[in-house]
Amino acid sequence: MVNQDNNLENMRHTLSHILAAAVRELYPTTTKFGIGPAIDNGFYYDIDFGDIKVNEADLPKIEKKMRGIIARKLELKKRILSKEEALAWAKENGQDYKVELIEDLPEGSEISVYDLGDLFTDLCKGPHVENTSEVGAFKLIRVAGAYWRGDEKREMLTRIYGVAFATEEELEDYLKRQEEAKARDHRKLGKELDLFCSSDLVGSGLPLFTPRGTILRDMLNELAQGYRVRCGYRKVCIPHIANIDLYKTSGHLQKFPELLQFVSQESGDHLAIKPVSCPHHTQIFASAPRSYKELPVKYLETTMVYRDERKGELGGLSRVRAITQDDSHVFCTEDQVEQVFGELIESAKDLYSLVDMKLRLRLSFKDDGDGYIGDAGMWERAQNSIQKMADKFEMDYFIGIGEAAMYGPKMDFMAVDALGREWQLATVQLDYAMPERFGLEYTDVDGSKKTPIMVHCALIGSIERFMSVFIEHTGGWFPFWCAPEQIRIVTVNNTVSDYVAKIKDVLDGVALQKPIKNNEVRYSVDLSDDSLGKKIKRATELKIPAILIVGPKDAEEGIVSVRLRDKEEKVKLEDLANFLKDLK
């Protein structure tokens, strides 16, 4: 039986070769080829076009040439070359990037190349479909820049992306979902809904939140904090810079020196801008003697950390340099770990149910690399503990090797949005290493000194990244409780000001209570001379959940016409408060 996933990957891999062959036929004298792998949903090829500028307007021409090649039913045949033969082939064809790849291989290597009929030969491990008629359905979708081998100091190549599926129906379904994703793009909606902006003077990856966007941030953060406050977490506050010795002790400086951005100090102090907050919280725990009777000690803080991400990897709110984390840390005994994890798991499940996202769990374990701290025994104990808890709490999970944090394994909650895309957002992490590195201790029941275990947790993770997902998940139609502007009163004419005042008195007295306690209604009044239609259009474009339409007849009857996204209702003024409390 054919493995469908492997067969689809073979189709996509073959299409990258066909793309290169089409480009070679269209631009025979200028092209040099980098790499062209199969990827999720399709394929790409990195190409050096020399002085020729290729953009998305050229894609139909390239795609047409590809279809012509496919129609020829060319076979793909594998040949094995010695390293010397492969180098001779690459140099003879002027393929400098292939020469570099071949030179990096060990001496004596046997190297495979694939011939696409007599049309094109490429350095490749394979496998592929047998001939070009078997590649399924595809479409070229975009052009981007890509540094050769991911090094920003190297040549900038042109990357042509394509998508590919086994059938035309699957391709059409994918393209429709992509169109929906474009309409929901958080960068587009962020501008339309006046949530955030950027400035070249401020810098890339440093978004600026408007009053409306700040309300949304605050509501989401208050929601996440509320779960932990109810579980006994207490708020703390730390500075945005620290002595680099803090990060030497934690291990961040040695393992991830690129995370740290240093502050110049004439005083001679060696300071860095904080990339994480966990080492600071260890020092609050260490500031006083601790007894087993106090444990678990639970700290909560929403704070910014700073990481110098590559400019080319930044995008809207999804990847930024100033990251606001809804962070929390627990210091506890071995016997308390399960209870701490249980509280956080239940909190995450409830929170993501509230925002209508399904969850599954990734158990993020270490690989064989050296980017971790702690010994092998500690890691085995921690990973076994994480997996046992996932089993006990009956979570749907899979294991991600190489996804662990530097100091310990994690439970990463993978949230599925309205378009079926999966995002890693919430996380709960088990840490035996950092308490030992900082010499943390508490006095046990027998008077002996013990090292606590540390649990790290973020329920929504980076608030910026969560917002990017949440904006696209909702399409900008936020639930009533967190909408920046929940209600807009629009008047038919200027004769109803007295009645509008009565409506405002009702709104000013409403506290919604859920899911955030005592959150007052956020509303505005449109008293402009514009037509009612224009006023409603303005409010709808801002995706305001409830529009209260007020005219002379409404004032006379003591009612309010409430227009929601999917319906309109007449509500008596005395019932308006309770009506609003029931909105979701």
User: What is the spatial distance between Cα 568 and Cα 582, in angstroms, rounded to a whole number?
Assistant: 15
Per annotation, catalytic residue among 17, 98, 186, 410: 410
Question: What gap in Å lies between CA 192 and CA 540, rounded to an integer?
Answer: 11
Answer yes or no: are the C-beta atoms of 244 and 272 closer than 8 Å.
Answer: yes
Catalytic pick among 48, 98, 186, 278: 278
Angle at 484 between CA 483 and CA 489, to 5 degrees: 90
* Cα–Cα distance measured from residue 291 to residue 97, given in angstroms and rounded to the nearest whole number: 62
Return the DSSP state at 527. Answer: -
Identified catalytic residue from 128, 184, 307, 465: 307
Catalytic annotation, pick one of 327, 417, 431, 554:
327
φ/ψ of residue 345, rounded to 5: -60, -45
274 annotated active-site: no
Instruction: Please pick, among 95, 325, 383, 486, the residue that the annotation labels catalytic.
Output: 325
In the residue annotation, 329 being an active-site residue is answered as: yes
Check 17, 456, 465, 473 and give the catalytic one.
Answer: 456
327 as an active site residue: the answer is yes
- The Cβ-side half-sphere exposure at 493, using a 13 Å CA radius, reads 5
Give CA 202 to chain center in angstroms. Answer: 23
Looking at 27-95, list the stretches that DSSP marks H as alpha helix, in order from N- to C-terminal side. 59-71, 83-92
Do residues 539 and 547 lie in contact, with contact meaning Cβ atoms separated by under 8 Å?
yes
Give me 310's structure tokens.
Answer: 């590559």
| C-alpha to C-alpha distance for 431 and 409, rounded to whole angstroms | 7
173 is catalytic: no
Is 410 annotated in the active site? Answer: yes
Active-site residue (options: 329, 366, 450, 473): 329
Assess whether 278 carries a catalytic annotation. Answer: yes
Burial class (CB in 10 A: 0-12, 13-18, 19+), 557: exposed
Residue 307 annotated in active site: yes
d(CA 21, CA 118): 10
Half-sphere exposure of 252 (CA within 13 A, CB side): 24
Burial 250-259 (b: 16+ CB within 10 A, else e): bbbbeeeeeb
Catalytic residues: 278, 307, 325, 327, 329, 410, 456
